[in-house]
């Protein structure tokens, strides 16, 4: 990985955004034999929405396509050094589990059917717990919890270490303080991208700009069905009722 404030004259692949999606794109592009250039509008990569994320991962899904994709991601997380040869980046994996709870009697059969489907997809490590079984394992749960599904090997990681490790493994040139201002299209095909640091010739670009992806795409005349929604995170002081090694606990009725 090479940091720069100078924009190269050309790129085999230009990636717009230096968060975890841009870093993963750079890593897999390099694995495919490409030499990526990443442009990041901020003074450092991984400095906006990625480090603000919870950094949780799971293998509990209700569709097979998503599960198959995430299985590959989790394999990368759990075997990061083997995949990237980047021993200096510690993802801080904590496999504390994901616990989805319901208090709605009408969702009990749905939960049972979902876990049965997940077992058919090969995720036989997902447990279906009664309310009493869930409270025995996790006493902080309320008496109104009727059922829960739990996978103990889901967990948390450090999203910044993940991003920086992927960028390092990619060998990409990362240009900082670089904002895309326009796309140069010839006969409907990309020829170059304009930035506040000048023009870079490229025939291939990936927009990985998180909440800014829609406005960036609009510079190329693309109207994407993206809507940015403000999310809020409430950080609580440590509570004696909830241990630090508790699973990610979700009210499945409200999301």
**pLDDT tens per residue, range 133-182:** 999 999 999 999 999 999 999 999 999 999 999 999 999 999 999 999 99
Distance of CA 26 to the CA centre of its chain: 14
- What pLDDT is stored for residue 89 in this prediction? 97
Low-confidence ranges of the chain (pLDDT < 50): none
Structure tokens, 221: 């005349």
From residue 89, give the alpha-carbon distance in Å to each of 36, 52, 118, 123, 227: 21, 18, 32, 29, 33
At 104 the three-state DSSP class reads coil
Angle at 22 between CA 20 and CA 23, to 5 degrees: 60
- What pLDDT is stored for residue 2 in this prediction? 79
Superfamily the domain 2-61+66-75+159-218 falls into: FAD/NAD(P)-binding domain (3.50.50.60)
- What pLDDT is stored for residue 90 in this prediction? 97
- As a whole number of angstroms, the distance between CA 45 and CA 41 comes to 9
The set of residues, in sequence order, having a beta carbon less than 8 Å from that of 255 and lying 6+ positions away, is none
Q: What is the residue extent of each domain of the chain?
A: 2-61+66-75+159-218, 98-151
- What pLDDT is stored for residue 238 in this prediction? 85
Q: What is the pTM of this model?
A: 0.93
168's enclosing H/E stretch is helix 159-170
- What pLDDT is stored for residue 207 in this prediction? 98
- What pLDDT is stored for residue 5 in this prediction? 85
DSSP letter string, 111-157: HHHHHHHHHHTT-TT-EEEEHHHHHHH-TTS-TT--EEEEETT-EE-
- As a whole number of angstroms, the distance between CA 98 and CA 33 comes to 36
């Amino acid at each position: 990985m090479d940091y720069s404030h100078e924009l190269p004259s050309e790129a085999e692949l230009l990636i717009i955004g230096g968060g975890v999606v841009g870093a993963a794109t750079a890593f897999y592009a390099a694995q495919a034999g490409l030499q990526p250039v990443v442009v990041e509008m901020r003074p450092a990569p991984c400095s906006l929405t990625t480090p603000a994320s919870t950094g949780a991962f799971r293998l509990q899904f209700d569709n097979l396509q998503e599960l198959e994709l995430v299985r590959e991601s989790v394999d990368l997380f759990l075997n990061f050094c083997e995949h990237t040869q980047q021993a200096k980046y510690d993802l801080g994996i904590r496999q504390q589990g994901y616990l989805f709870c319901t208090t709605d009697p009408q969702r009990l059969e749905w939960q049972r059917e979902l876990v049965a489907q997940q077992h058919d997809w090969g995720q036989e490590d997902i447990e279906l717990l009664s309310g009493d079984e869930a409270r025995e394992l996790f006493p902080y749960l309320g008496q109104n919890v009727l059922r829960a599904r739990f996978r103990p090997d889901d967990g948390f990681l450090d999203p910044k270490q993940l991003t920086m490790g992927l960028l390092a493994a990619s060998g990409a040139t990362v240009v900082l303080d670089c904002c895309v201002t326009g796309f140069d299209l010839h006969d409907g095909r990309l020829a170059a991208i304009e930035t506040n640091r000048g023009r870079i010739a490229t025939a291939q670009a990936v927009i990985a700009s998180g909440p800014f992806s829609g406005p960036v795409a609009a510079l190329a005349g693309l109207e994407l069905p993206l809507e940015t929604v403000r999310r809020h995170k409430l950080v609580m002081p440590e509570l004696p009722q909830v241990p630090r090694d508790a699973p990610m606990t979700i009210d499945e009725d409200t999301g």
